[in-house]
Amino acid sequence: MSQTIKVRPSTGFMTVDLDKQGRQTGYIRIPHSPHEDAWGVTQVPIGIISNGSGPTVILEGGNHGDEYEGPIVISELMRDIDPAMVQGRLILMPSNNVHAALAGQRVSPVDGLNFNRTFPGDPLGTITNQITAFVHDYIFPHGNAFLDLHSGGSSLDIIPSAIIEPTPDPELAKKNIAAVQAFGAPMTVVIANMGDPRTATAAAVRAGMITVGTEMGGGGTVSLDALAVCRQGVRNVLAHLGVLPSEMAVAAQPSTILELPGSKAYVFATMDGVFEPFHANGTTVSVGQPAGRIHCLWDLARPPETVYYNADGLLYGRRQPGRVRPGNCCLVVATVSSLS
């Protein structure tokens, strides 16, 4: 069930006109007064491609600043798509967490916040909360669909996949599944982020938008394979929604839908040390099976500590840095979903 978004007063403003036809590039500008800039603004890039009538699709990248495939694809769309090919409107936002994107890190270096754990934001909060509030209150109400393009960032290497955001609305759930399957990723996964309602995709489904997420590789690099999947997948979804011509899509075969089975999906570090995984992504694993071990390399008297899988399924994601501390996510297991 969708909700009406209450638009709260904001000091932010845009240099683009959402209702203008054609191609525009500009910024959301939010007054920001740090030490080095008394009357400055934070500039969040935004592009509009609009032509005729049709759905409005919001594409978000840079939700985390160390995830690159989505922002590359969104930027390419801004440059490459002829407005005459569009039926409707594309709102293109490649670096919403702009301070994090500039720093190449997951969270904003300005206030330390994870953009994807701040929705619906606060127009009188820190700069990340203000950006979130503007996106939620002033951009989301224009959208019929929302694509949130993630990867595993610096800390995880994830099998390229399209993501279903759960919703209690059965009709919206059907539309979400159809759009995610149209993406055509090697894998389709239901991810609820352990029930956290503060994510962009959770907010998008509350707003009633058809919602598609992705996880495209990771490790803080640009994966050529994942980038190719993302390029074509975005075009597939936009054609599925009727915004781009059908000939720009590649027919996708429906894939088995997997899901992360709550807290059991994760293997967390139990001690300070260096994590040695036992398996590659894509390996079939079982509950209770040894998953890896953690070495304390600065204490010769301490033996490694073994960690174990908590669920049967497929190894979906694996920690990229070797160094771990207690509570770090080391491994992620996906199981077959009841939606399959």
Contact (Cβ atoms closer than 8 angstroms) between residue 259 and residue 273 = no
Domain topology for 13-255: Aminopeptidase (3.40.630)
> Where does the pLDDT of residue 5 fall: very low under 50, low under 70, confident under 90, or very high at 90 and above?
confident
Residue 1 has pLDDT above 60, yes or no: no
Q: What is the pLDDT of residue 253?
A: 80
Q: What is the mean pLDDT of residues 285-292?
A: 98
Q: Which one-letter amino acid corresponds to residue 88?
A: G
Q: Indicate the domain borders of the chain.
A: 13-255, 262-336
Percent of the chain with pLDDT over 90: 94
Q: If you average pLDDT over residues 187-204, what whole number do you get?
A: 95
**Is the predicted pLDDT of residue 338 greater than 80, yes or no?**
yes
Instruction: Tell me, yes or no, if the two domains 13-255 and 262-336 fold the same way.
Output: no
Residue 312 DSSP SS3: coil
Instruction: Quote helix, strand, coil % in the chain, to nearest 5.
Output: 25, 30, 45
Task: Please give the structure tokens belonging to residue 46.
Answer: 């935004």
Cβ-based neighbours of 37, under 8 Å, separated by 6 or more: none
Which among 60, 249, 48, 217 is positioned nearest to 147, based on CA atoms?
60
Could you tell me if 49 and 81 are in contact, meaning their C-beta atoms sit under 8 angstroms apart? yes
pLDDT confidence band for 3 (50 / 70 / 90): low
> Tell me: the pLDDT tens digits for 211-252?
999 999 999 999 999 999 999 999 999 999 999 999 999 988
Amino acid type, 131: I
CB 165 within 8 A of CB 41: no
b/e per residue 116-131 (b: at least 16 CB within 10 A): bebbbbebeebbbbbb
Over residues 158-173, the mean pLDDT reads 96
Q: Residue 256: pLDDT band by 50, 70, 90 thresholds?
A: confident
pLDDT digit string, tens, across residues 57-83: 999 999 999 999 999 999 999 999 999
Q: Among residues 101, 100, 118, which one has the least CA distance to residue 109?
A: 100
Q: pLDDT (tens digit, 9 = 90+) per residue, 99-142?
A: 999 999 999 999 999 999 999 999 999 999 999 999 999 999 99
What is the residue-averaged pLDDT of the chain?
A: 96
- Please determine, for residue 294, whether its predicted confidence score (pLDDT) is greater than 80: yes
Beta bridge partners of 93: 60
Judge whether residue 4 has pLDDT over 90.
no
Give CATH for domain 262-336: 2.40.50.100
Where do the H-state alpha helices sit in the chain?
Answer: 69-80, 98-103, 127-134, 170-183, 200-206, 224-240
CB 161 within 8 A of CB 186: yes
For range 18-25, the mean pLDDT? 97
Q: What average pLDDT score do residues 139-146 get? A: 98
Burial of 102 (0-12, 13-18, 19+ CB in 10 A): middle
SS3 224: helix
What is the band of 297 on the pLDDT scale with cuts at 50, 70, 90? very high
81 phi, psi to nearest 5 deg: -80, 125
Helix axes 224-240, 170-183, angle to 10 degrees: 130
Phi, psi of 266 (to 5 degrees): -105, 145
Is the pLDDT reported for residue 307 higher than 80? yes
CA distances for 42 relative to 109, 231, 320, angstroms: 13, 28, 31
Evaluate if residue 191 carries a pLDDT over 70.
yes
